[in-house]
Amino acid sequence: MRTQQRCGISPKIGTVLSGVFTIIATDLSMIFEEKYMKRSNCSAVQVQNAAIKKHLMQSIMCWSFQIAIFMSLVTFMVSFLLLFSVYTQKFGGMVVYCIWIIVYEVVNIMIQVATSGNPEKGVVKLMRLFGLVSRILMHALWLLFFVFSYMQITYKRSREGNVLTSNRRHSAESKDFRRRKSKLMSFSRYRK
């Protein structure tokens, strides 16, 4: 079975690169975002007077760095699970990776919105937004073109493997018939 390559990259290599990209992008975003998430003033949070939405946003803002650290650690584990599942050709790790990346990016959008009210320069806000949008677009590219394709290939192979390894009777004639059929097929292309 011939697999379709995009930009000269096979789905398997693209899936491996997706996991590596996620590890590197998560590490870089944590390095860059650390000081902007730690800077929030959490001493002024009043639970009694705040509306639910405002309280939720302030809680996210106060706990944004801890949430981001937790999300990053889980993302590292899920990325290594993706790399392991590509190595072992297991379907489940890729599904977990796809679901987790969507959850991870949604939470990062919420953190970005909650911490964007901090007094910072417009250039820094623009850089943070550009980093978030470019990471989301790259994750979408890796997921859509490579990870989903390799998931489909792995799923088909696992389904075929279950059929081939089922307990069937094998006769001696079937091997002989396949050999004769292949000889007939190779001979038939010369008879035109």
CA 89 to CA 145: how far, in whole Å?
A: 18
Q: So what's the pLDDT on residue 145?
A: 80
| Token pair belonging to 64 | 């944004």
Q: What is the DSSP string of 125-173?
A: HHHHHHHHHHHHHHHHHHIIIIIHHHHHHHHHHHHHHHHHTS-----HH
Evaluate whether 101 touches 22 at the Cβ level (below 8 Å).
yes
Residue 92: which domain range?
11-162
In a domain, 170, yes or no: no
Task: Please report which confidence band the pLDDT of residue 124 belongs to, taking 50, 70 and 90 as the band edges.
Answer: confident
In-domain check, residue 180: no
Residue-wise pLDDT for 66-79, tens only, equals 888 899 999 999 99
| Cα-Cα-Cα-Cα dihedral sign, residues 81, 83, 86, 89 | negative
- Dihedral sign for Cα 86, 89, 95, 100, please: negative
Domain assignment present for residue 184? The answer is: no
pLDDT averaged over every residue in the chain: 76
Length of the chain: 192
Q: Rounded CA gap, 186 and 44, in Å?
A: 82
Q: What percent of the chain has pLDDT over 70?
A: 68
Lowest mean pLDDT across 95-104, 108-117, 133-142: 108-117
Cβ pair 18, 146 in contact under 8 A: yes
Residue 83 domain-assigned (yes or no): yes
Whether residue 50 is predicted with pLDDT greater than 50 in this model: the reply is: yes
| 192 lies in some domain | no
Q: Total domain count for the chain?
A: 1
Looking at the domain assignment, is residue 6 inside a domain?
Answer: no
What gap in Å lies between CA 148 and CA 141, rounded to an integer?
10
For residue 175, is it within any domain? no
d(CA 140, CA 127): 20
How much is the pLDDT for 45?
A: 52
Q: What is the largest CA-CA distance in the chain?
A: 90
Q: State yes or no: pLDDT of 181 exceeds 60.
A: no
Show Cβ contacts of residue 131 under 8 Å, excluding neighbours closer than 6 positions.
Answer: 29, 32
> Is this structure's pTM higher than 0.75?
no
Structural domain includes residue 187:
no
Using H for helix, E for strand and C for coil, what is the string for 6-48? ECCECHHHHHHHHHHHHHHHHHHHHHHHHHHHHCCCCCCCCCC
Share of the chain above pLDDT 90, in %: 14
Q: For the packed helices 11-38 and 64-88, what is the interaxial angle rounded to 10 degrees?
A: 170
* Model pLDDT for residues 140-176, shown as the tens digit of each residue: 888 888 888 888 888 888 777 655 444 455 555 555 5
| 8 A C-beta contact, residue 11 and residue 153 | yes
Pick from 2-6, 25-29, 42-46, 59-63 the range whose average pLDDT is largest: 25-29
